[in-house]
């Protein structure tokens, strides 16, 4: 009886063992099948969130203007007799630039001077005669008036001759000469332009709501597309005391040093005004942020350790963020991401919350504060 029960017990154990073993085998096969059906990791580019000190800035567009600048011309007509400059010369205030033919005017001046001299002699002679009562007081008054009139005519003719000599009204840099010797020019015809280039002004407009952020001697930075890699520093030297009622903008003028004459009047410029104290932000490339009607999101990469095969397990997690100021390719993140977290910058369109990822940073989007387009 005992032997028979032992055999039956063994048989039962074999049956249950087979069933249990089959179930283990079945579960292993199902797990293997499910693993093989899992989506492969998506390749993405990432960046480590870092903090930066940002200087708040007010950006505007403006134009450059010379401290002193003029298109020089004669007040009178005439024929060019002498040229005393070359195109592009540096001149000092008062230097003679051009003379017009003035021979007839000089001759007329000599005649007027002779008349004035005669009037003076006549007055002196009559004064002596008046002492002995040989002439009346009326004669002396007439002689005195004639002398004053003659001197006034001399001064007037001297002014006419002076108008036929063009002088530099201030020190500066001459442009291209527009006249030649022997050429007849009318009054008002531009002879040459004269510009004082150092220092130079930058005029721009700001909206009225920024008035509480600007002040005299505030630092500004100027950029022109002629020199994309160079910044020109200056300071605010004038703020218009009147707001334009049509645009609600106020005109501001900055003064910049220009010793190398790189900046020229009339240039278009981008002006950045430093406003307020520096602030520290977590910054990301703008490509990392996805803008949606319900808010801005980014994908943060979480490290889940390694899988049974020893491979790293990286999982994307979607988080909502509050985006702030933008500067070039960068954006400030006010909340949602902390310094040191790994954030996806490219490949978000193929991700979902909890999706496995694989990082490949061989090609990474740029994140420049002052991006410069490259012509190719």
Residue (of 284, 72, 34) closest to 192 by Cα position: 72
DSSP sequence for 288-302 = GPEEETTEEEEEEEE
User: Is the omega angle on the peptide bond into residue 199 within 30 degrees of 0, that is, cis?
Assistant: yes
Give the pLDDT confidence score for residue 200 in this predicted structure. Answer: 92
Beta strand spans in 210-276 (E): 219-223, 232-243, 249-256, 268-274
pTM above 0.85, yes or no: no
Residue (of 232, 248, 325, 241) closest to 283 by Cα position: 325
Domains in the chain with CATH codes: 39-54+279-359 (2.40.420.20), 58-67+194-274 (2.40.30.170), 102-163 (1.10.287)
- How far is the C-alpha of 339 from the C-alpha of 125, rounded, in Å? 103
Return per-residue pLDDT of the chain as tens, 376 residues. Answer: 566 666 666 665 555 555 555 566 556 555 554 444 556 788 888 888 888 887 777 888 889 998 888 889 988 888 998 888 888 888 888 889 999 988 887 888 888 888 888 888 888 887 878 777 777 888 878 878 888 888 898 888 888 888 888 888 888 888 888 888 888 988 888 999 898 888 899 999 998 888 888 888 888 889 888 888 888 989 999 999 999 899 899 999 999 998 888 888 888 898 888 876 777 888 888 888 888 888 889 899 888 776 665 566 888 889 998 888 887 788 888 888 888 888 998 888 888 888 888 888 887 777 666 666 555 4
Give the pLDDT confidence score for residue 202 in this predicted structure. Answer: 92
What does the block give as tokens for 172?
A: 């500066």
Angle at 196 between CA 193 and CA 202, to 5 degrees: 105
> What DSSP element (H or E) covers 185?
strand 184-185
Three-class secondary structure of residue 266 per DSSP: coil
Give the pLDDT confidence score for residue 33 in this predicted structure. Answer: 47
Phi and psi angles of residue 328, each rounded to the nearest 5 degrees, phi first: 65, -125
């Amino acid at each position: 009886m005992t032997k028979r029960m032992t055999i039956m017990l063994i048989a039962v154990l074999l049956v249950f063992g087979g069933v249990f073993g089959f179930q283990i085998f079945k579960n292993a096969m199902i797990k293997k099948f499910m693993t093989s059906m899992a989506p492969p990791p998506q390749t993405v580019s990432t960046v480590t969130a870092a903090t930066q000190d940002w200087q708040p800035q007010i950006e505007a567009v403006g134009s450059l203007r010379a401290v002193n600048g003029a298109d020089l011309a004669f007040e009178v007509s005439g024929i060019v007799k002498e040229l005393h400059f070359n195109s592009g010369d540096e001149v000092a205030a008062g230097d003679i630039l051009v003379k017009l033919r003035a021979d007839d005017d000089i001759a007329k001046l000599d005649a007027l001077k002779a008349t004035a001299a005669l009037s003076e002699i006549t007055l002196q002679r009559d004064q002596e005669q008046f002492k002995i009562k040989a002439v009346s007081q009326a004669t002396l008054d007439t002689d005195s008036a004639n002398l004053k009139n003659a001197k006034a005519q001399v001064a007037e003719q001297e002014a006419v001759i002076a108008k036929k000599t063009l002088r530099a009204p201030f020190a500066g840099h001459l442009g291209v000469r527009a006249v030649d010797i022997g050429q007849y020019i009318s009054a008002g015809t531009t002879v040459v332009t004269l510009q004082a280039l150092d220092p130079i002004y930058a005029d721009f407009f700001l909206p009225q709501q920024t008035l509480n952020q600007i002040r005299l001697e505030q630092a500004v930075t100027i950029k022109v597309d002629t020199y994309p890699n160079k910044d020109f520093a200056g300071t605010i030297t004038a703020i218009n005391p009147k707001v334009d009622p049509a645009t609600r903008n106020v005109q501001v003028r900055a003064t910049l040093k220009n010793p190398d004459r790189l900046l020229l009047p009339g240039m278009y410029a981008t002006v950045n005004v430093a406003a307020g104290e520096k602030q520290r932000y977590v910054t990301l490339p703008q490509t990392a942020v996805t803008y949606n009607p319900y808010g801005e999101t980014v994908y943060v990469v979480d490290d889940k350790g390694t899988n049974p095969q020893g491979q790293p397990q990286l999982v994307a997690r979607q988080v909502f963020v509050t985006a702030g100021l933008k500067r070039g390719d960068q954006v400030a993140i006010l909340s949602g991401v902390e310094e040191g977290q790994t954030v996806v910058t490219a490949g978000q369109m193929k991700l979902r919350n909890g999706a496995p990822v694989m990082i490949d940073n061989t090609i990474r989007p740029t994140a420049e504060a002052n991006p410069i387009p490259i012509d190719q």
